[in-house]
Structure 1
Amino acid sequence: MQALLNAIAAMAMPIDAERIFHGRGGLYPGCEHWVLDAFPPVLVLTSFKPVTLEELETVQASLSQRWAQIAPKAPLNWVFQNRHDGEPETRLMAGQVPEPHEVTEQGARFRVHVLKGQNHGLFLDMAEGRRWVSEQATVNPKLRVLNLFAYTCAFSVVALKAGAQQVVNVDMSQGAMTIGQKNHQLNGLTHGASFLVHDIFKTWGKISRSGPYDLIIVDPPSFQKGSFIATKDYAKLMRRLPDLLMPGGQALLCLNAPELGTAFLQDQMKEFAGELDFVQRLQNPITFDDVSKDRSLKVLIYRAPG
């Protein structure tokens, strides 16, 4: 675990939510199961395999030493989550977690929940995707956006903050959408967003009536039984894109499945939405470096002719 300890020793005082150590990328042999994130003022350590009490005590000592250097007047708050078997086990190891817990990223504010579940309310690896969406809304203040699998609506927040005209958020989780509405309130966004709590595959009528769109964001779970299975369901979304996009409109397609490479999305797009042109693949945040680009998060941009 020396690479993790080295990252802690070099850690700067976190301001925004960010990843500090990404063992999952495979760049640090022997540390593939470790991840350390900052959700200020809380640090969250995750292990994807069982760890010993001695290992946690070593991390505790390292965190305490570094925290005393970078924030001598602030308490150390950290949480440990073990995800090696089924439901994640989460423990508060030191300090406390604020309630409500709000973090920032690139000037936007978001509600998070690090003590329950394995998804904390903001996916840190999608930071560059959110930056790109913000840039599109800045260039085109009349941007009309469809945000599919909206989760807690982070894409919607950054789009509207940058000046987008409208965002239609669709997700089947009422709990996630409620947090999404709170995220808009946190950022003073009172107009422009709508929230549809529906199964996307059963609500194309409502989605189509609000279109066509300048930008469609597709950020589904890679495998969620009863909701979305990429190998089976992504094609159903791709078929709809040409009719839902404005001429010259863009689609941002996301896939976080290590077993499916970039070619999976590109080949399916050629088959089911061949009239859309591939533009680029967005780079992931540097803190999410991976030994294999195909294994890491894929974020692809496509454009409709126009």
Structure 2
Amino acid sequence: MQALLSAIAQMDNTTDAHRVFHGRGGLYPGCEHWTLDWYAPVWVLTSFKPVSEDELALCHQALAQRWASLAPGVPLNWVFQCRAQGEAQTRLMAGSVPEPHVVTEQGAQYLVHVLRGQNHGLFLDMANGRAWLKQHALHENVLNLFAYTCAFSVVALQGGAAQVVNLDMSQGALAVGQQNHRLNELPAKARFLGHDIFKTWGKINKMGPYGVIVIDPPSYQKGSFIATKDYIKLIRRLPDLLEPQGHVLLCLNAPELDTAFLHAQVAEAAPGLRFVERLANPAPFADIDPEKSLKVLHYQKT
């Protein structure tokens, strides 16, 4: 775990939420199960396999030493989460977590909840996707599918979107999304639909067409969405939903599915879409095999 300890020794005290160490990318042999994130003012250390109390003690020592240098006299706050199958747990290891817990990213504020569940309310690897949308949203009608806590909607409205339609099956996630909009004092130009996307096409069509569509689904969620069989159903709808020259971001975070999977689906179901670029992931999320990391593909209707 030396690479993790070295990263801790070199980390900075910055304002925005971000990933500090990404062992999951395979660039640090022996540390593939570790990640460390900064959700100010809390460090969140995650392991994807069981670890010993001795290892956690070493991490605590490293965090305490670095934090004493970065913020003398300020209490250290850190949380440990284990995501090993059958041994999932979340523990407050030192200090406290604010309630409500609000973090910042690129001029936006978001509510997060690092002590509840595996998803904290803001996916840090999607930072560049949010930055892209903020730059492309001016005057656009934006459709945000699988909206979760509506971070894409927040940046779209910050970028001057005419309207954003957020759709997600989770009413709880959308409720947090509405709080995020209030937190950022955004105009009332967003709609929040807590529906099954596959049963809502009539309503979605009625509020279109859209200048920008973001599709960021779970890769595998039984009873909701399975990428290998359901993604093509979404892509098939895009030509009718998009305005002429409209943009779409197709997102996929499944290590077993590569960019060729999405390209093939678009070629089959929406050949009128032109591939523009793959957005780079944030630098801390570097991966030894980019095809196993988050894929965010930008297409445009011709």
CA drift at 1:113: 0.2
Task: Show the counterpart of 1:240.
Answer: 237
Alignment pair present for 1:252 and 2:264: no
Q: 1 CA distance for matches of 2:30 and 2:295?
A: 25
Contact 1:16/1:104, CA 8 A, preserved across alignment: yes
Alignment pair present for 1:172 and 2:133: no
Contact 1:151/1:171, CA 8 A, preserved across alignment: yes
TM-score (norm 2): 0.99
User: Aligned to 1:294, what secondary structure does the other structure show?
Assistant: helix
Alignment of 1:1-306 (within 5 A): 1-86=1-86, 88-137=88-137, 141-305=138-302
Contact 2:157/2:187, CA 8 A, preserved across alignment: no
User: What's the CA shift string for 1:171-218, capped at 9, x where partnerless?
Assistant: 000000000000000000131100000000000000000000000000
Q: After TM superposition, where is structure 1 displaced by more than 2 Å over at least 4 residues in a row?
A: none
User: What's the CA shift string for 1:229-283, capped at 9, x where partnerless?
Assistant: 0001000000000000000001100000000011000011100111100000000
User: What's the CA shift string for 1:98-155, capped at 9, x where partnerless?
Assistant: 0000000000000000001000000000000000000102xxx211100000000000
Q: 1 CA distance for matches of 2:299 and 2:64?
A: 46
Q: 1 CA distance for matches of 2:13 and 2:126?
A: 21
Q: 1 CA distance for matches of 2:152 and 2:219?
A: 18
Q: 2 CA distance for matches of 1:112 and 1:127?
A: 15
Instruction: Compute the RMSD of aligned alpha carbons.
Output: 0.7
Q: 1 CA distance for matches of 2:225 and 2:86?
A: 19
Q: 2 CA distance for matches of 1:88 and 1:223?
A: 19
CA drift at 1:15: 1.1
Contact 1:148/1:219, CA 8 A, preserved across alignment: yes
User: Aligned to 1:231, what secondary structure does the other structure show?
Assistant: helix
Q: 2 CA distance for matches of 1:299 and 1:290?
A: 14
Letter in 2 for 1:180: G
Q: 2 CA distance for matches of 1:183 and 1:29?
A: 38
Q: Alpha carbons of 1:127 and 1:87: their partners in 2 closer, same or farther (altered >3 Å)? A: farther
User: What's the CA shift string for 1:64-120, capped at 9, x where partnerless?
Assistant: 000000011311000000000147300000000000000000000000000010000
Letter in 2 for 1:31: C
TM-score (norm 1): 0.98
CA drift at 1:17: 0.5
Q: Alpha carbons of 1:43 and 1:164: their partners in 2 closer, same or farther (altered >3 Å)? A: same
**Unpaired runs of at least 5, structure 1:** none
Contact 2:50/2:87, CA 8 A, preserved across alignment: no
Contact 1:149/1:219, CA 8 A, preserved across alignment: yes
Contact 1:88/1:118, CA 8 A, preserved across alignment: no
Matched residue count: 302
| Most deviating of 284-293 and 67-76 | 67-76
Contact 1:88/1:117, CA 8 A, preserved across alignment: no
CA drift at 1:220: 0.1
User: Aligned to 1:30, what secondary structure does the other structure show?
Assistant: coil
